Amino acid sequence: MRVVVLAGGLGTRLQEETETRPKPMVEIGGRPIIWHIMKLYSSFGLSHFVVALGYKGEQIKSYFVNYRNLSRDLSVHTGDGTTNVFEGQHQHDSWTVDLIDTGDATNTGGRVGRLADHLPGDSFCVTYGDGLTNAHIGRIVDFHRRHGRLVTLMAVRPPARFGWLELEGEKVVTFVEKPKLGEGWVNGGFMVLRREVLNHITSDDQSLELDVIAPLAAAGEVMAYPHSDFWQPMDTLKDVKTLRALWEQGAAPWRLWG
């Protein structure tokens, strides 16, 4: 199963960090958040990623092109530029990362639509490149396979600045984007989609949540996997500081790998 990471947005609410780099490259503990997201998924055996690039996507490409060398000890010959890697020094991750340019101005739904040729299975995971959780991804995937609907999303109870979901059991019956008042469940950004969802994406300017998932929810095709434990988006500088502090204190709940 492929894991789509939406990594092309401008990150305008985090301009302190994103003026010079894409949001997924903002670092936590010396590693970009996209690395933390991939470590989370790969700890459940999902290690083939399809990254939807946009704003400053060349920085994400450069990171993964050089990933092996950046994570190992090296010997460099400055005369001809050759390098030798010292084997056995560090474990390295064995991932497949497809880096696909989906356009600077493309909306989230359009980005997923542009990845259709890179999503061969009957279902695929989707997440944003700016959030972390300690949810059991494997159980979310199993739940998706059992219920047979088109969409599964991880529902969380967030700060009031987010929109909310109304649930009947595990079925999503209402999808409201950022109400001014009220509390409820929201899409935590860790989703599983059946390939048929791609048929509902017809243009670059479609929002994945509002223009694709919301109509499917109204049609009874969206199920929620409620998660009441750790979930933290990285929308503001305060969020960045929170995630960094958790990592530095050795108390990062999303660190499910050894």
- 135-148 pLDDT, tens digit per residue, is 999 999 999 999 99
Dist CA 245 CA 201 (whole Å)? 39
Mean pLDDT calculated for residue range 202-211 = 97
pLDDT at 164: 63
Average pLDDT, the chain: 90
Q: In degrees, to the nearest 5, what angle opens at C-alpha 171 toward C-alphas 226 and 188?
A: 35
Domains of the chain by start residue, with CATH: 2-70+94-248 (3.90.550.10)
Contacts of 146 (CB under 8 A, 6+ apart): none
Beta carbons within 8 Å of 134's beta carbon, 6+ residues apart: 229, 230, 231, 253, 254, 256
**Distance (Å, rounded) from C-alpha 196 to C-alpha 198?**
5
Against a cut of 0.85, is the pTM above it?
Answer: yes
Examine the pLDDT at 250 and tell me if it is beyond 90. yes
pLDDT of residue 180: 46
pLDDT of residue 70: 77
What pLDDT shows up at residue 163?
A: 59
Q: What is the pLDDT of residue 160?
A: 57
